[in-house]
A and B are shown apart, each in its own frame.
Chain A
């Protein structure tokens, strides 16, 4: 996740160049500690696990919406807004994910269960790299809920209405921290896609 690097020279946030990302990366440890604190902060303020996931997703949503704008501003023109669902998902999967986490997400798939559902998964996302979910919450909570918010926020802000966006811990022995974000678009989004194809 790129952010502000504390330089020796004191400059205000607004004076810093918007396009400078090199050398402004935040270390994984710093991010892990920050995310731990976000989770614990939320945990003290919720009544249940679903509430907690929603709170994490809300954090992610704010990041997703803003990061989309920032990333667009940083990309050299011409700016092409994704018009198709697949183009949108690909842009989240590769350029946006790389800008946020330093590498592309692991996979992008279409769900077999539902025609409007797609899955983006990351084998070792920064949000769950070091997390061990306690036994009593296992299966109920994924620390990756934040990612669902990021993806949902980006899709929504790009003009693709999202009906639901959830994160699931799908870790196995090879990739214990794997998180899969399931995104279901609202009705009409895919119909619009089909209409564009007809033209």
Chain B
């Protein structure tokens, strides 16, 4: 089971999607997931500021700061956390162009999840963003997105 779960955090730090791909994880309450997402969002914003290369990109970062953390422009220069490694899992972060972040939690043996992110992003663009009933920044409740993600993840397991 290389992939454990997927989180999608909107640009304000709210959790819009959470899915576990294995039954071995302990389920948390929905509030706890929201807190986790908010905490990660904050840490991500801080780490983006900590980057030593920040001084060279300050010009673009200053203009982007008006748009809040994760705004376009700052992203390429200051990406914040990309991977977080622990003894029990690895957390990968994939920032989208809109400031939305996708997190994949995976087995620590997994070297990277670039392909999985790319494919999930494709499915997200199709079945979430092109879904007429989806309001941006709101929680994702799309049956077909669930199905597509499940099918995708099954290929990696």
Contacts and interface: CB of A to CB of B under 8 A. Distances in A.
Contacts of A35: 132
A134 B130 contact: no
Given A135-B141, A176-B144, A130 B133 contact: no
Interface string A105-116: 000000000000
Contacts of B145: 132
Interface of B: 126-127, 129-134, 141-145, 147
Contacts of B129: 33
B152 to A, nearest CB: 15
A137 B132 CA distance: 13
A143 interface: yes
B90 to A, nearest CB: 30
Interface of A: 29, 32-33, 35-36, 39-40, 129-135, 137, 143, 176
Nearest to A29: B130
Contacts of B127: 130, 132
A74 B141 CA distance: 43
Contacts of A40: 132
Contacts of A137: 133
Given A36-B130, A132-B142, A132-B144, 11 more contacts: A32-B130, A33-B130, A39-B133, A40-B132, A130-B127, A131-B131, A131-B132, A132-B127, A132-B131, A132-B141, A143-B132
Contacts, number: 38
B141 A36 contact: no
Contacts of A130: 126-127, 130-131, 144
A87 B126 CA distance: 36
When A and B form their complex, which 7 residue pairs have the shortest distance between CB atoms, in order from nearest? A132-B142, A130-B130, A39-B132, A32-B130, A36-B132, A132-B144, A132-B143
16 contacts: A29-B130, A32-B130, A33-B130, A36-B130, A39-B133, A40-B132, A129-B130, A130-B126, A130-B127, A131-B131, A132-B127, A132-B131, A132-B142, A132-B144, A132-B145, A133-B133
A148 B126 CA distance: 24
A136 to B, nearest CB: 10
Contacts of B147: 176
B144 A134 contact: no
Contacts of A133: 133
A36 B144 CA distance: 16
B63 to A, nearest CB: 28
Contacts of B141: 132, 134-135
B125 to A, nearest CB: 8
